[in-house]
Chains A and B, each alone.
Chain A
């Protein structure tokens, strides 16, 4: 039996008529200004238990709440209910699942779980939905990397034709490859996002050089004195080295280069 039908058995004839004339789709225990039942916007019937007798409370619990719980299997706050609906509508798609499967044994468990939420956030964001609450959860649970991971996911860096998979494939070619090193590298990049310039062939040299200059200026003023350049592939490694060369005579910057033997992965650290 539906909630409305059950309610009909508990209300007087006058309110029964009111209920039958309105299309009620949601039932919410809340605070009302005047009455036990009030009809709110969006087809919501608000029920104020404070205005119910002890007998009515008992009936609500047994005939409405318990019966509905038996049927649906959940009784949530309106906020948790809305959030669950939003998550359900944006759960990882089949292609998202491929991403999650790829990273499952490569990232730490915490980062992998965060990636699942980050993908859900991306799907919701792409539909133009409000993602504030979901973002708050990922940041609250993982304050060190949650926000950055979510941003990188939305920008596609974890997609299977993009940066973090390419990084894995490049590192895999190195002798003595250890998955722990890959995991650490990903964590370092994610945690350092505001202090990173990704060297990519999708941007011109001038754009990348300008981005480095811009971030250096901003970080010198407000930042923590560090900027990372990260590049994958021979061409990007060359670009990163060329940009780095622009600062070789700058005495205010200490430069550390970290490259694999094949010169296909580079991280340049600028300290200032």
Chain B
């Protein structure tokens, strides 16, 4: 299956708003997320629940690349995922 990012019909533009790796945890906190002892992203209110990518993969903080529209999809910083986003950019 192809990685799903944001649904087939959504056209996007690449945002000029970004964040650096050293503030990843601050940004996660804004979305009600945190990281567990092993460094995986979890739901702050339900620490046993790890956040998953649209492909169902757990996300280590070091691999986290940001959020894209579907609803709010957490994605990895990986060329194989980002190419699907790139194809959707206007």
Residues of B contacting A29 in the complex (Cβ-Cβ under 8 angstroms):
17-20, 23, 26-27
B15 contacts chain A at the CB level, 8 A cutoff: yes
**Residues 65 to 88 of chain A near chain B (Cβ within 8 Å):** 65, 68-69, 71-81, 83-85, 87-88
B22 contacts chain A at the CB level, 8 A cutoff: yes
Give CA–CA (A205, B82) in the complex, Å.
Answer: 45
Residues of B contacting A26 in the complex (Cβ-Cβ under 8 angstroms):
16, 18
What interface size band does chain B fall in?
35 or more
> What is the interface of chain B mostly: helix, strand, loop, or mixed?
mixed
B86 touches A134 (CB 8 A): no
Kindly count the residue-residue contacts between A and B in the assembled complex, taking CB atoms under 8 Å apart: 142
A117 touches B30 (CB 8 A): no
Residues of A contacting B65 in the complex (Cβ-Cβ under 8 angstroms):
76-77, 79-80, 83
* In the complex with contacts A25-B16, A80-B77, A74-B69 CB distance below 8 A: yes
Residues of B contacting A81 in the complex (Cβ-Cβ under 8 angstroms):
14-15, 18, 66
A134 touches B17 (CB 8 A): no
* In the complex with contacts A80-B77, A83-B82, A88-B86, A73-B13 CB distance below 8 A: yes
Give CA–CA (A72, B12) in the complex, Å.
Answer: 6
B67 touches A84 (CB 8 A): no
What interface size band does chain A fall in?
35 or more
Give CA–CA (A65, B83) in the complex, Å.
Answer: 23
Residues of A at under 8 Å CB distance from B? Answer: 3, 25-31, 48-50, 57, 61, 64-65, 68-69, 71-81, 83-85, 87-88, 91, 113, 116-117, 120, 133-134, 137-138, 140-141
- 9 more A-B contacts (CB under 8 A) besides A50-B26, A78-B18, A120-B79? A28-B19, A69-B72, A72-B14, A75-B17, A76-B19, A80-B82, A81-B66, A84-B89, A85-B14
What 4 A-B pairs come out closest when comparing CB atoms?
A76-B66, A80-B65, A73-B12, A72-B15
